[in-house]
């Protein structure tokens, strides 16, 4: 099992930040697009190679993202219509997101088996998350999902302000 920490910068034009491990060492870098209509994020390894890309779809009723991994696999993350809780589905993978997405405390399961747990750390100056991934083969996918869901949550908060 691996534990990652995502901590956004307090203020940034481009949404760039590092993903660290449980010892505080940088594992990945997240680079967000600046002047693009459809927001994009790239998850880079320490050698500056892309391991995942997250692309927002502008022309959809509810938030949708294409996630492309370095191995060429592509997935669609869609927010589903729900009255009480935020719900997301990862098309084609058998992944389900369960828990309190508004508070960013949720688990990712694949065919009923938990593969990751995400928990927002409160009482910090910026949004900070602890992500526990049970199987390393899902690390880049899980981090890309967290980046996309956090972007949706952040966008909804800024629209209400």
Question: How many whole angstroms separate alpha carbon 146 and alpha carbon 156?
Answer: 15
Q: How high does pLDDT run on average in the chain?
A: 83
pLDDT (tens digit per residue) in 86-141? 678 788 777 888 877 666 788 988 888 999 999 988 766 567 889 999 999 999 99
- Longest Cα pair distance anywhere in the chain, in angstroms? 43
Tell whether the model's pLDDT for residue 142 goes beyond 70.
Answer: yes
158 versus 37: the higher-pLDDT residue is 37
Nearest to 153 by CA among 95, 85, 107: 85
Q: How far is CA 106 from CA 1, 15, 29, 97, 123, in A?
A: 17, 23, 23, 7, 18
Mean pLDDT in residue range 36-54:
90
At 18 the three-state DSSP class reads strand
> Hey, what domains does the chain have and what are their CATH numbers?
2-160 (2.40.160.200)
Share of the chain above pLDDT 70, in %: 81
**Is the CB of residue 94 less than 8 Å from the CB of residue 105?**
no
pTM of the model: 0.85
56 versus 15: the higher-pLDDT residue is 56
At 153 the three-state DSSP class reads helix
Question: How many whole angstroms separate alpha carbon 35 and alpha carbon 58?
Answer: 14
87 versus 67: the higher-pLDDT residue is 67
The secondary structure element, H or E, covering residue 154 is helix 139-160
Mean pLDDT in residue range 43-69:
90
Nearest to 92 by CA among 54, 66, 131, 59: 66
């Amino acid at each position: 099992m691996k534990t990652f920490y995502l901590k956004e910068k307090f203020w940034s034009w481009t949404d760039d930040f590092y993903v660290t491990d449980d010892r505080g060492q940088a594992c990945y870098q997240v680079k967000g697009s600046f002047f693009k209509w459809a927001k994009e994020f790239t998850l880079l390894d320490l050698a500056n190679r892309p391991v995942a890309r997250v692309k927002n779809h502008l022309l959809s009723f509810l938030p949708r993202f294409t996630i492309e991994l370095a191995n060429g696999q592509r997935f669609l993350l869609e927010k589903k219509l729900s009255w009480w809780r935020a719900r997301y589905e990862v098309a084609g993978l058998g992944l389900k997101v369960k828990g309190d997405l508004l508070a960013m405390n949720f688990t990712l399961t694949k065919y009923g088996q938990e593969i990751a747990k995400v928990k927002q750390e409160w009482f910090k100056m910026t949004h900070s998350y602890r992500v526990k991934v049970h199987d390393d083969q899902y690390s880049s996918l899980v981090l890309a999902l967290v980046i996309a869901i956090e972007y949706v949550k952040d966008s909804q908060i800024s629209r209400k302000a």
